[in-house]
Amino acid sequence: MKLFNKEVNNFYLSILGITIFVLVAFILFSLVGKHFIIKEEAETTIYFVDNISPGHKLVIDRFNKLNEGKIKVIPIDLPFEKFSTNERKELLIRYLRSKSDRIDIFSVDQIWTQRFAKFVEPLGNHFPVKKRDEYLKAAIESCYYDGQLVAIPLYVDISVMYYNKQQFQKHPDFNRIKDELDSYITWEKFIDLSKGFDDKTKPFYIFPAASYEGLVCSYFELLESQNYSIFSGDSIRITSKESVKALQLLIDLVHKYKLSPLAVTTYKETEADLNFISKNGIFLRNWPGFYKWYKTFINDNEDPEKKYGMVPLPHFSGSKPASVIGGWNLMISVTSKKKTAALEFIKFLNSSEAQIIMYSHSGFLPVINSLYDKISSGGDEKINFFKNLFKTYVHRPYTVNYTRYSDIIANYINLAIKNNLNAYEVLKKAEQVINSNQIFIK
């Protein structure tokens, strides 16, 4: 009987407790109304600065759809057609110096990474060493500053030469010459090759030689193929015989051999491309994205791969084949208040899905090793061309002051080509300006 009474008492106590809880909850809800309901966290908006290509747009749309209600990426477009790499660099530097939190993620040219390191969030804790091994060496090695991972690669570039199939196939010895081109032709043979093309109204070799980073790429390519480094202790030496030889060729292509028009000294990539197409040129120095650029800006109804082929760039006799590596890296601003969301977007940009979209729709080469075999197995033969070309890659110096060195070198090399100046004297002047540490103004 006592046990029964105890169970009854416990039952009534439970009912009383539930009644009190419901009563308190009702009173609280009556007092605070809708504010008592716990709200879901609002969607996080992050801002991403880059040249927003068709591939970028598709990847951003895909990420936003997958993360609807959680994260939304807003692109800020700095198109290559309106902003040179140097102009883009200066815009970003000025904005980041203001310590604004409006930029969350931005992309930088590989050789800017160290220059921008002080403005960004270190990423080493989020990308362990094993994960980094998945990237192309040519891509991930540019992402460090002082031994610390400060960037993640988005895509890579490597210099390549395009040829006009229609014009080139008119040559009576086309097949033999094509084999030589595919097997890394020398500059000496390339210059002799020009003699077989009678129509001098068509430019034989177009390369961008305006005073900007693209010209410096051509210079370093010729220099590095000779296994020469410009650094000597704390100073820079660009008056070596290797350096003079590199610049002299660029001058001679215009003035001695007449393979390139003087107008190349005003060309950046876009102007070089347009001249090559409009003048029905024979050869063009460019990057892997040329085909996609052609379909986007020239004619979407044409297949540029049927009109233009790809071969490696020439190299000096007795030197190694060399193609300058380029590309763009991703960085997270240290002043961003949305770093976690920004990191999620970077990881998505490096996913197989996003990398293949970027390659398929904008021609940007993937940064993940395994994707080259995957894309090749899908029937894309030209990806193997680039995979083999990576064996010859050389890079520009990874140093904090590179952008200053580059501005000075570009200015003086451009002047030398434009005015047919003495290569040694021009390089001597550039070397003096660089090592003086004086402020350089063009």
Looking at the structure, do residues 148 and 178 belong to the same domain, yes or no? no
The 10 Å Cβ neighbour count of residue 40 is 7
Determine the 3-state secondary structure of 419 from DSSP: helix
The parent domain of residue 302 ranges over 160-324+398-436
Taken in order 414, 90, 327, 142, the sign of the CA dihedral is positive
Q: Please give the pLDDT value at position 294.
A: 96
Rounded distance between C-alpha atoms, residue 3 and residue 37, angstroms: 43
Rounded distance between C-alpha atoms, residue 222 and residue 347, angstroms: 36
Mean pLDDT of 406-431: 97
pLDDT higher than 80, residue 3: no
In a domain, 15, yes or no: no
Q: Please give the pLDDT value at position 198.
A: 75
In a domain, 256, yes or no: yes
pLDDT higher than 80, residue 441: no
What confidence category does residue 101 fall into, taking pLDDT thresholds of 50, 70 and 90? confident
Mean pLDDT of 202-222: 96
Q: Note the pLDDT tens digit of each residue in 343-372.
A: 999 999 999 999 999 999 999 999 999 999
In a domain, 389, yes or no: yes
Looking at the structure, do residues 346 and 213 belong to the same domain, yes or no? no
15 residue type, one letter: I
Q: Please give the pLDDT value at position 345.
A: 98
Mean pLDDT of 107-116: 95
In a domain, 13, yes or no: no
- Total structural domains within the chain: 2
Looking at the structure, do residues 201 and 233 belong to the same domain, yes or no? yes
pLDDT higher than 80, residue 381: yes
Cβ pair 241, 183 in contact under 8 A: no
Looking at the structure, do residues 164 and 141 belong to the same domain, yes or no? no
Looking at the structure, do residues 152 and 192 belong to the same domain, yes or no? no
Beta bridge partners, 164, equal 308
Rounded distance between C-alpha atoms, residue 193 and residue 127, angstroms: 49
Looking at the structure, do residues 331 and 378 belong to the same domain, yes or no? yes
Higher pLDDT, 27 or 351: 351
42 residue type, one letter: A
pLDDT higher than 70, residue 325: yes
What confidence category does residue 41 fall into, taking pLDDT thresholds of 50, 70 and 90? low
Determine the 3-state secondary structure of 420 from DSSP: coil
Q: Please give the pLDDT value at position 24.
A: 45
Could you tell me which residues come within 8 angstroms of residue 187 by beta carbon, excluding any fewer than 6 positions away?
249, 314, 315, 316, 317
Rounded distance between C-alpha atoms, residue 208 and residue 290, angstroms: 14
Looking at the structure, do residues 402 and 418 belong to the same domain, yes or no? yes
In a domain, 16, yes or no: no
Cβ pair 78, 94 in contact under 8 A: no
% of the chain at pLDDT higher than 90: 78
Cβ pair 387, 218 in contact under 8 A: no
Q: Which of 225-239, 289-303, 426-440 has the highest mean pLDDT?
A: 289-303
Predicted TM-score of the model (pTM): 0.87
Complete DSSP assignment for 186-206: BHHHHHHHGGG---TTS-SEE
In a domain, 4, yes or no: no
Looking at the structure, do residues 173 and 102 belong to the same domain, yes or no? no
Q: Which of 12-21, 36-45, 409-418 has the highest mean pLDDT?
A: 409-418
Closest-CA residue to 356 (of 55, 128, 123): 55
What's 109's domain CATH number?
3.40.190.10
Q: Please give the pLDDT value at position 35.
A: 41
pLDDT higher than 70, residue 13: no
Mean pLDDT of 257-278: 96
Average pLDDT of the chain?
90
Looking at the structure, do residues 50 and 152 belong to the same domain, yes or no? yes
Looking at the structure, do residues 268 and 217 belong to the same domain, yes or no? yes
Q: Note the pLDDT tens digit of each residue in 130-186.
A: 999 999 999 999 999 999 999 999 999 999 999 999 998 888 888 999 999 999 999
Q: Note the pLDDT tens digit of each residue in 46-87.
A: 999 999 999 999 999 999 999 999 999 999 999 988 888 878
Cβ pair 203, 260 in contact under 8 A: yes
Looking at the structure, do residues 132 and 52 belong to the same domain, yes or no? yes
